[in-house]
């Protein structure tokens, strides 16, 4: 089979996977796992608010249909000109192809909305003053169209393993990983998935030791992000 045939077969497999989702899970109501209760709603020294994923009802519905998540929470904490936010989305097994979830990264979605990635590091660990460390994530530094700076770290958990984004900016999916994930999903379906993102207008190292920040990161560790013992 030539390259064109491989490519066509890949699209066919992906189309079959997506069609199964559209006629199955999307026809049923989402099954919340109460992420808003899993993450702390209040942190010492910080004001909290929950945010929607779109500025109006139409865009919120469009985002929900596109991401097809079971549940999500997007919570922002503010204090004295500082802020940090946590976004967690959850998909139950079989609900969404892994490569579809993996394609919605800040590298792609933020840059498509005018943000510029000025620094990127892969396989970077986030540590706390308590000694707790999270598994390696994708670390970014973005500038908004208005010049505001935002620091980002994100993870994609598939079952109990981290999705391998490789050492690259993920504005476009890797063709090799796209094919690998398409075949894997078509043959065996997907496991439960989490996409987790932390953002801050201050470098994360400056937040280490803050009681509120440490409490939030500890909650994320319990979702499966705690670094495994060596």
For the chain, the domains span 3-225
Q: Are 168 and 143 in contact (CB under 8 A)?
A: no
pTM comes to 0.82
Residue 126: per-residue pLDDT? 84
For residue 230, the model assigns a pLDDT of: 54
* pLDDT for residue 31: 56
User: How far apart, in whole angstroms, are the C-alpha atoms of residue 121 and residue 188?
Assistant: 32
Which residues in the chain come in under a pLDDT of 50?
Answer: 1-29, 57
Q: Could you tell me which residues come within 8 angstroms of residue 223 by beta carbon, excluding any fewer than 6 positions away? A: 38, 88, 157, 194, 196
Q: How far apart are CA 83 and CA 96, in angstroms?
A: 31
pLDDT value of residue 35 = 92
Amino acid 142: pLDDT? 96
E strand segments, the chain: 47-50, 71-79, 82-91, 116-124, 137-143, 149-158, 161-162, 193-200
Residues 7, 15: Cα–Cα separation, whole Å: 12
* pLDDT at residue 11 in the model: 36
Spatial distance between the Cα atoms of 50 and 207, rounded to a whole number of angstroms: 20
Q: Note the pLDDT of residue 165.
A: 87
pLDDT of residue 133: 85
DSSP, res 74: E
Q: Please tell me the predicted confidence (pLDDT) of residue 25.
A: 43
pLDDT at 174: 72
Distance CA 89, CA 93 (A): 13
């Amino acid at each position: 089979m030539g390259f064109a045939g491989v490519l066509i077969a890949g699209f066919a497999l992906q189309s079959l996977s997506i069609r199964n989702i559209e006629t199955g899970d999307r026809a049923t109501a989402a099954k919340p796992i109460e992420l808003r209760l899993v993450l702390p709603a209040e942190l010492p020294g910080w004001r909290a608010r929950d945010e929607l994923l779109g500025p109006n009802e139409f865009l919120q519905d469009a985002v929900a249909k596109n991401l097809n998540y079971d549940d999500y929470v997007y919570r922002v904490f503010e204090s004295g000109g500082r802020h940090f936010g946590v976004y967690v989305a959850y998909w139950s097994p079989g609900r969404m192809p892994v490569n579809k979830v993996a394609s919605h990264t800040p590298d792609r979605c933020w840059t498509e909305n005018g943000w510029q990635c000025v620094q990127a590091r892969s396989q970077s660990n986030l540590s706390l003053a308590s000694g707790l460390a999270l598994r390696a994530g994708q670390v970014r530094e973005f500038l908004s169209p208005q010049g505001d700076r935002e620091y980002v770290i994100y993870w994609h958990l598939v079952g109990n393993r981290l999705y391998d984004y490789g050492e690259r900016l993920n504005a476009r999916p890797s063709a090799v990983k796209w094919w690998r994930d398409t075949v894997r999903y078509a043959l065996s379906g997907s496991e439960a998935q989490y996409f987790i993102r932390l953002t801050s207008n201050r470098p994360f190292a400056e937040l280490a030791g803050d009681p509120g920040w440490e409490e939030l990161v500890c909650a994320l560790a319990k979702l499966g992000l705690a670094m495994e013992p060596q």
